[in-house]
Chain A
């Protein structure tokens, strides 16, 4: 199988790029794929923390690119899954320490050993973004149902197309179906109307994400997590399986069910 290089980007910060990268990577590794996660947010690295691998870092992406160490020495093996690896970003350097050309070579090198290379892109559209998208053959755009996030996502889609990355895929993150129902939040259709790109998945707002992120254990590992389940479905879609996009109803509690029954009785 030819390996795929997916860059996860958004333009706006705080919409869940790193969380998405960690969860999709873990979910793919759970499906026995060989996956490497590439953190390109040099100077503000987070992916290692989200994966709980921070204390294993010895070498980072800048060391690899500058030839201070071999690629194999810098790759950190995940503590839970056999096929999951992380190449951490440097924290004490800045985004100009590597060039798009070097990044491309690095990604090509990684493709020899892995089925999937997931690139976690920094926020913004400057050097870090240009580094991250060079070498990618597909882009995943993460957006939350907010006007500002969708606006930035639109800008990103334009920039991606300008650099030859056509057909980016959209993940809508942190959707609250209750607010959508009340009309207080953009719904999936509104966002797709504006961006007019393919929908890869919808991830509901979920408190368990905060818990799992703080603990350094991706939510996909927890079977009860709603967001984790959504990420698992997105991962299956990435591997080519045909999985329907669920519309997320807030889980009904007993009181709600009782009310519904009363309504029917009336």
Chain B
């Protein structure tokens, strides 16, 4: 059953009108995405499901499938709903069971200021801010209950499943395992909710922290 898969101006259009059940939609989507080349990583995708209605949870599942292939869901067209519903209504929580286990977790109850450096082998939880010029390096996950403005390196010994979560995630630089990212130049993006950074499909992505 060939379904259209066109690349229109950096955006992709996937036609999923034919499959009838949600299981079939997912299977069909997986099949198509397997045939996609690597250079399309980061492309935004429009999906057309035709006459069907998808619940928020199902939309979330489609989004996750796309993210696993390094794509973002831009729009989901169906005759019943127009566009994506507000993310706040989302009920599916982030699966914390996926996180790798570390025996040791350190709790730091202070601000880390410029020039201060914290190195730990396991997880680290910081009840405070990390200012620009400060560095947190952890073998495991990093959780900041304040504003992360400095540098954070999670999974410093190569664990690609490690995550960095912060009440406000505005790092000068973010490292997970052997990936290094920085915010784009000249763009100030103000986000007023907690966020989580992790590696998906070989790229560091930042998503809203859902608990």
Contacts and interface: CB of A to CB of B under 8 A. Distances in A.
B115 interface: yes
A209 to B, nearest CB: 20
A45 B134 CA distance: 12
B115 A55 contact: no
B116 A58 contact: no
A56 interface: yes
A146 to B, nearest CB: 27
* Main SS at interface, chain B: loop
A79 interface: yes
B180 A58 contact: yes
B134 to A, nearest CB: 8
Contact of A92 (B135, B172, B180, B182): B135
B100 interface: no
A105 interface: no
Interface string A42-84: 0111000100101111100000000000000000000100000
A58 B172 CA distance: 11
Contacts of A58: 173, 180
B117 A92 contact: yes
Contact of B173 (A44, A52, A57): A57
Contact of A91 (B115, B182, B183, B185): B115
Contacts of A49: 132
* Main SS at interface, chain A: loop
Interface of A: 43-45, 49, 52, 54-58, 79, 91-92
A46 to B, nearest CB: 10
A79 B115 CA distance: 25
Given A92-B116, A92-B135, A55 B180 contact: no
A55 B183 contact: yes
B135 A55 contact: no
B114 interface: yes
B202 interface: no
25 contacts: A43-B115, A44-B115, A45-B133, A49-B132, A52-B185, A54-B132, A54-B172, A55-B172, A55-B173, A55-B182, A55-B183, A56-B173, A56-B182, A57-B173, A58-B173, A58-B180, A79-B185, A91-B114, A91-B115, A91-B133, A91-B135, A92-B115, A92-B116, A92-B117, A92-B135
A91 B185 CA distance: 22
Interface string B118-158: 00000000000000110100000000000000000000000
Nearest to B184: A55
A78 to B, nearest CB: 12
A79 B184 CA distance: 12
A79 B183 CA distance: 14
Contacts of A52: 185
Contacts of B115: 43-44, 91-92
Interface in B177-211: 180, 182-183, 185
Contacts of B172: 54-55
Nearest to B174: A55
Interface in B73-105: none
Contacts of B182: 55-56
A57 B132 CA distance: 12
A45 B172 CA distance: 15
Contacts of A56: 173, 182
Smallest CB-CB A-B distances: 7 pairs: A55-B182, A92-B117, A55-B172, A91-B133, A91-B115, A55-B173, A54-B172
A56 B182 CA distance: 7
Contacts of B117: 92
B44 to A, nearest CB: 25
Nearest to A54: B172
Nearest to A94: B115
